[in-house]
Chains A and B, each alone.
Chain A
Amino acid sequence: MKNEFIVIADLIEKDKKVLDVGCADGTLMKFLKDNKNTNIRGLEISKEKVQECIGKGLTVIEGNAEKDLKQFPDKSFDYVILSQTLQAFLNPELVLDELLRVGKKAIVTIPNFGYWKVRLHLLFKGTMPITKTLPDEWYNTPNLHMCTIKDFFYFAKSKEIKIFKSLALNKLNTSLINDGNLGVKNLFADLGIFLIEK
């Protein structure tokens, strides 16, 4: 399983109620269910992925996060997870508001556009960066709103979103991000993980 998922799972206590938005094939859901006794639900837009989740015995709702989060009542989940999808929404700000309305806390992960490989790719090749976490070409990428770890930090601040914990991921290395090392982490992490609350 991806290191990202292990880090996310570590942020969640046992026996919690969790919604995984954009749960894909349910790998993280299944892990949480089996290891943390999580009461887990998924929301997923792809019919094929929904079928895979059902095949794993997971409770999943086929739907679109931008439209279908509104059906969940305020604070109806302990945690809402959004893994590497924020940048793909038409209106990420709205989705983030919804995540924080539906969940008591939210765990959001973003592919970091400030990662040094991304920066070098653009600087030297002069073409849109392609990395392990950003594998698509500019014309077929689902990512509409790329941001950096720094961008997310500032964005959260401006929206008065509390960041409980932020983690920088680089391959198998996980480290805490704080105001002091933000610049460095923004350069060396390819993924940012944020535990937030409003």
Chain B
Amino acid sequence: MNTKENIKTLVIKKPLKLDCGKTINNFPIAYETYGSLNTNKNNAILVFHALTGDQFVTGINPVTKKDGWWSFAVGPNKAIDTNKYFVICANVIGGCMGSFGPSDENPETKKIYGTDFPVITINDMVNAQVNLLDHFGIKKLFSVVGGSMGGMQVLQFVSNYPDKTKTAIPIACTSSHSAQNIAFNELGRQAIAADHNWLDGKYSSKNIVPDKGLAVARMAAHITYLSKKGLQEKFGRKLQERDDLKFGFDADFQIESYLRYQGSVFVDRFDANSYLYITRAMDYFDLAKQFKGNLSDAFINTKAKFFIISFTSDWLYPTQENKDIVIALNSIGADVGFVEIESDKGHDSFLLDVPDFLSALKHFLDKSYEKN
């Protein structure tokens, strides 16, 4: 799935006890960095990626040869200015871009893990990535930033390591996966499982991939990342390279063609089992539950300055769910700012060129850094 020579990895020797009860050790974390760490080591930002992201935040992704997933936000003079900050991003465990995941070989059985890979959680992902701080000799990050599942990792990180970051920016996320979130993820997983190539996760042994199932999973998920208005404006009922309906089941409409394309390019870069594991980790995320139902208690020990951002047209992680985090922080007197950005681009807004979002992000970081 990936060309390993372009991937930097750190092998974590320290055993990590997972939430499922199993312990892993000597496992790889694949990461990438941008910019340079200053001598005081106080300019580092740990970026967490979302469900289908990876460590290649910006520039050309050397594996897919496409722009990094957050090229709009990260780079020289951009919102997360790599002339100023040292940006670190790691592929989550369970992922398929070089970090320990289900497409790795199990050293005991010499077979690809597949669904024998342990179920991992957002907490496990964060606990694995914190090792990167030791690797770079960073005592305290300047910021932890992430959108969607990346935002969940931000929340979990601050909760687990209250002294390890100065600021925290969870974007378009939630502290607890809703029934609707779980439902969409389950739809994706069932699409993969229904592909006869999936073979209960053992497809690698037969050198095949459940690409049809994975593509359908991606298509369904992709709809949830966009807004109704955005879709209508971009596609409406426009026809795909034809003058009239064909009275068949080809992609008559542009939106059908677009979704099929999104599905087809996704299967080239993503592992189906990873998709199962990562969506499961998101579904299991319920930060309040970790603190007997009181979300505020998750942040009681931190002095980190929070900045929470949501988007008007995001119905996957709507403003109210982001605001619930603000409320939990305010109820303990934490330092928290919040802004809802006007955008028609749905949940995907955080990945796109949304000037109000990017300027808010830049201002918050740069102004907070001045006082560093």
Contact = CB atoms under 8 A, between A and B. Distances in A.
A47 B330 contact: no
A54 interface: yes
B106 interface: no
Given A62-B338, A71-B331, A51 B359 contact: yes
Interface string B77-117: 00000000000000000000000000000000000000000
Contacts of A54: 307, 337, 339, 360, 363-364, 367
Size class of B's contact patch? 20 to 34
Contacts of B341: 47
A129 B326 CA distance: 40
Contact of A73 (B333, B360, B368): B333
Contact of A61 (B338, B367, B368): B338
Interface string B263-281: 0000000000000000000
A60 interface: yes
Interface residues of A, number: 18
Contacts of B305: 59
Nearest to A71: B327
A72 B337 contact: no
Contacts of A63: 323, 338
A60 B337 contact: yes
Contacts of B364: 54
B297 to A, nearest CB: 14
A180 interface: no
A61 B331 contact: no
A59 B359 contact: no
Interface in B300-342: 305, 307, 323, 326-327, 330-331, 333, 335-342
Given A59-B305, A72-B330, A73-B333, A51 B338 contact: no
B67 interface: no
Contact of A76 (B333, B339, B367): B333
Contact of B326 (A47, A58, A71): A71
A56 interface: yes
Contacts of A60: 337-339
B366 to A, nearest CB: 8
B356 interface: yes
A135 interface: no
Given A47-B339, A51-B339, A51-B360, A57 B368 contact: yes
A167 interface: no
Nearest to A56: B367
B243 to A, nearest CB: 43
Nearest to A77: B333
A126 interface: no
Given A51-B359, A62-B339, 17 more contacts: A47-B339, A47-B340, A51-B339, A54-B337, A54-B339, A54-B360, A54-B363, A59-B305, A59-B337, A61-B330, A61-B338, A62-B340, A63-B323, A63-B338, A71-B330, A73-B330, A73-B333
